[in-house]
Amino acid sequence: MEQVFDGITVLDFTSGRAGGTATMVMSDFGAEVIKVEPPGGEKFRDAPGAVQWNRGKKSVVLDLKTPDGREKARALAQHADVVVENYRPGVSQRLGVDYDTLRDGHTGLIYASLTSFGPRGPYAHYKGYDAVVAAKSGRMMMFANQNPRPGPNYVVTQGVCHAAATALVRGITSALYLREKTGRGQQVETSMLQAVTTYDHVSWVHGQMVRNRPSEYPPDTSVGTGRGNPTGYLPARTSDGQWIQLGNVVERLFRSMMHSLDMDFIYEDPQLKNAPFLDAEAVAVLERIMLEKVQQKTLDEWMSIFLSREGNAAAEPYLTSEQALDHPQIVHNGNVRNLEVPAVGLARQLGPVVNMSATPGKPEGHAPALGQHTVEVLSGLGNSVKAHANGAKGPMPTQALEGVTLLDLGTVINGPLGCALVAELGARVIRIEAPGGDWGRMGLPLSAHRTMGGSECICLDLKTPEGQEIMDKLAAKADLLLHSMRPGAPERTGIGYEQLREINSNLVYLYAGGYGSTGPYSHRPSMAPIAGAVSGGGVAQMGRDAFPPPDQHMSLDEIAAVAKQLKRANDGTADHSTAMVNAVGLVLGLYARERTGQAQYVESTMINANAYLNIDDFYWHEGKQPRPLPDPEGYGLHALYRLYRASEGWVFLACLFDDEWQALCRAIDRPDLLDDPRFTTGESRQQYDDALAGELAAIFATREPRHWEELLTAVDVACVKAEDRGMYYFFNDDPHVRENGMLTHVEAPRFGEFWRYSPVVSFSGTSGRVGPGPLKGQHTRPILRELGYTDDQIHDLKERKVVDWEEE
């Protein structure tokens, strides 16, 4: 076995990016993916990025509306290990490819279902365009205030699809892992609405505290919109008109940044000497000085300083996704691969989602032509061996990853959150923090209930011999380990890959790095906005014509205004996108170990994870169309995919196809628009986009959002009330959320009872697991007792600051 999914056959009924990306990852790691399409092909076959996410697959055309098509689909399913579908509720039953039908006589089948808004409730049948879910859920409010106007702001990076795709991969892989032990398959379910909750790491609990404990948590507008990026995350314009992103909020990195900027003098200024811990007035003064300072050198001059070994500060230029294909570290990591694609020739595409030492991903092949493999696949049905599990007959556990132990040495958001997503699958996660706790607890302590949700916590000084001894005992019993230390630091603290492999050869070891363990940038620090700047997401979020030409003179006030926009556009959720990929890497490593008996080294990076977030543009071939960008005010991509003001509040309209356009015009009682020569074709509507937007804006302004949502969804046009308060308010207040079981109540020391988001993935045969975040060192004593330490020994270790905990 050379790859994780060697010998696994996947039957892919999905349409669009989320399902397509999930099965692309499986194909990259060795699965045979058979893409089943209707006559004429799936609607998103020509979408930006489809040439990439459909690579390596076989295309089979079946008309599932006919008895013959359904019969062939069922025959294919009998020879598959995994079925993936994203039909709206009830459709798979009508087409005869639902779980109950396909598992008949095939108990080892893994059947993965992705819905838009969940299988029940008033929104269950809404179309699942990425931006529709982002608008309805409140995710667009995370980008509010990017522009001067009030209200939600369009989101360019399709984070909903990224979250759903990674959820599918970790759910399917966990179910396959369990099948290796039990011989039994099961249904795996998630929704785009449930998946998007991964991007909210604090507003959900902050909102509850403000509402339920106002004396401790006063009203705060950031509950809805999130806090703006701090001074350490300042974007700035260089002397040659380029833009650079700084990323240094940790104090030691901030001080290093000040030194690199030749600004050590601020520590002698009474107003600024406590930087980065400053009041709002001092922040404004400091940022203005920084913007002036960066104007004194070119981009290349600054990057030469930051790239030096002495320049221990995070900084990167703002790149488009296409420009990022040439980033030296991305190239070094193998995150870009050259493939030959018919009709376009050489194509540069994403490499594997993570790098694995023993079972590496090998992206091969191109996106198939429609029906290219129909005859080949169907003619082979009689000769192929029916898919089955390995004969295992173990008992079904309570959770998919029950009995798996994961050691989490990640920091801030992306490491711990990735581990928390694995905890939801049933793994026991033990967080190992330094005495004093993780830095992420200091800025937003409430966020631990998401980023560390369901984890245990021990505080341990790995710089002491006693601390390393405890670490060795933990590693000896663990299955998985994640850390995010830069190269060299793991070895200094006794947790290097080779060091721990001597203790436990069955330990799957994942490095969740910013740049990677080797290569020209591997020594450099990285924070969320760095990955956002490198991957192209920040540039795209700014919209059309947002950056003045490099040779245009700009006053300091004008530079500050653009920097303010960039701060909001490059919002920091690159961490969350990375966490999802970290979780994928962990379960891939676990499943590979179960199949091969071999543990291995796995590497995930922030820059590659966010390249995947931008999969719709992170590729190149001759003749590729430019990335669609939103208008400068952040309404959307064009008149039929954008936000509109209603009489009160906002709506988001997604109307991409001709049948939807016709239904829209009739529903709003404007059939004349169908005959207007400016709007009769997709090309003409694009040409007269401003005029069409004006027509629709006038119409939507006449009624409240609920009216338009009910009117248009009734004719199957996606139009929803855009949440204009924030994600917390939608999930707390909307009955649809509870009808789909998207919230679970938990109880935590100091905070009492509150709800948290339910597991992103659910299973028919096993349950998920949720919990609050732990206090600092909350489980230090019970974990040490489990390792054989007495209470006297534990007390002595605390006295000597080897271990730590805070009292409840």
Domain extents in the chain: 9-200+336-393, 638-731
Calpha distance 1→579 (Å, rounded) = 28
Phi/psi at 79 (nearest 5 deg)?
-105, 10
Q: Which residues contact 301 (CB under 8 A, 6 or more apart)?
A: 238
Mean of pLDDT values over 504-525: 97
Closest CA to 479 of 563, 343, 589, 614: 589
Calpha distance 581→410 (Å, rounded) = 14
Q: What pLDDT does residue 387 have?
A: 58
CATH for the stretch 9-200+336-393: 3.40.50.10540
pLDDT at residue 635 is higher than 70: yes
Contact present, 354 and 588 (Cβ < 8 Å): yes
CA atoms within 13 A on the CB side of 565: 23
DSSP secondary structure string, 761-788? -EESSSB-----PPPTTTTHHHHHHHTT
Q: What pLDDT does residue 386 have?
A: 58
Phi/psi at 377 (nearest 5 deg)?
-70, -45
Closest CA to 494 of 432, 438, 449: 432
Q: Class of 638-731 per CATH?
A: alpha beta
Q: Which residues contact 498 (CB under 8 A, 6 or more apart)?
A: none
pLDDT at residue 805 is higher than 90: yes
Q: What pLDDT does residue 679 have?
A: 98
Q: What pLDDT does residue 712 have?
A: 99
**Residue 620: C-alpha distances to residues 279, 612, 647 (Å):** 45, 14, 43
Lowest mean pLDDT among 26-35, 122-131, 204-213, 598-607: 204-213
How far apart, in Å, do the first and last CA atoms of the chain sit? 49
Mean of pLDDT values over 287-293: 98
pLDDT at residue 384 is higher than 70: no
Contact present, 263 and 273 (Cβ < 8 Å): no
**Residue 585: C-alpha distances to residues 1, 150, 357, 419 (Å):** 18, 39, 12, 11
Phi/psi at 744 (nearest 5 deg)?
-135, 135
Q: What pLDDT does residue 807 have?
A: 87
Closest CA to 114 of 5, 13, 220: 13
Measured from the Cβ of residue 704, the count of other Cβ atoms closer than 10 Å reads 14
Q: What pLDDT does residue 537 have?
A: 97
Mean pLDDT in the chain?
96
pLDDT tens profile 318-332: 999 999 999 999 999
Calpha distance 733→211 (Å, rounded) = 12
pLDDT tens profile 121-144: 999 999 999 999 999 999 999 999
Contact present, 645 and 696 (Cβ < 8 Å): no
pLDDT tens profile 754-784: 999 999 999 999 999 999 999 999 999 999 9
Contact present, 250 and 233 (Cβ < 8 Å): no
Mean of pLDDT values over 326-351: 95
230 pLDDT band, cuts 50/70/90, is confident
DSSP secondary structure string, 87-153? PPTTHHHHHT-SHHHHTTT-TT-EEEEEESS-SSSTTTTS---HHHHHHHHTGGGGGTTSSSS-S--
Mean of pLDDT values over 413-434: 98
**Residue 480: C-alpha distances to residues 93, 247, 780 (Å):** 39, 29, 19
Q: Residue 545, exposed/middle/buried by CB under 10 A (0-12, 13-18, 19+)?
A: exposed
The conformational region for residue 221 under phi > 0 = left, psi -120 to 50 = alpha, else beta, is alpha
Calpha distance 317→297 (Å, rounded) = 13
Tell me which of 700 and 391 has the higher pLDDT: 700
Mean of pLDDT values over 42-56: 95
pLDDT at residue 442 is higher than 90: no
310 pLDDT band, cuts 50/70/90, is confident
pLDDT at residue 389 is higher than 60: no
Whose tokens are 């793991």? That residue is 490
385 pLDDT band, cuts 50/70/90, is low
Mean of pLDDT values over 615-641: 97
**Residue 85: C-alpha distances to residues 60, 66, 168, 190, 779 (Å):** 15, 18, 10, 11, 41
Closest CA to 412 of 436, 387, 437, 391: 437
In the chain, % of residues over pLDDT 90: 92
Q: Which residues contact 545 (CB under 8 A, 6 or more apart)?
A: 632
Q: What pLDDT does residue 653 have?
A: 99
Mean of pLDDT values over 469-473: 98
Helix/strand/coil for 230:
coil
**Residue 244: C-alpha distances to residues 240, 539, 685 (Å):** 11, 11, 37
Mean of pLDDT values over 237-243: 98
The b/e string for 450-468 (b: 16+ C-beta within 10 A; e otherwise) is: bbbbbbbbbbbbbebeebb
Closest CA to 11 of 172, 130, 165: 172
pLDDT tens profile 443-457: 778 999 999 999 999
CA atoms within 13 A on the CB side of 519: 19
Lowest mean pLDDT among 125-129, 218-222, 358-362: 218-222
DSSP secondary structure string, 56-71? T-EEEE--TTSHHHHH
pLDDT tens profile 519-563: 999 999 999 999 999 999 999 999 999 999 999 999 999 999 999
Question: Looking at this protein, which amino acid is placed at residue 611?
Answer: A
In the chain, % of residues over pLDDT 70: 99
Calpha distance 526→325 (Å, rounded) = 18
Q: What pLDDT does residue 698 have?
A: 98
440 pLDDT band, cuts 50/70/90, is confident
Q: For residue 433, what is the DSSP state?
A: E
User: What is the chain's length?
Assistant: 808
Give bridge partners of residue 430 from the DSSP assignment: 407, 456
**Residue 565: C-alpha distances to residues 143, 235, 542, 555 (Å):** 10, 9, 7, 16
1 pLDDT band, cuts 50/70/90, is low
Calpha distance 278→251 (Å, rounded) = 12
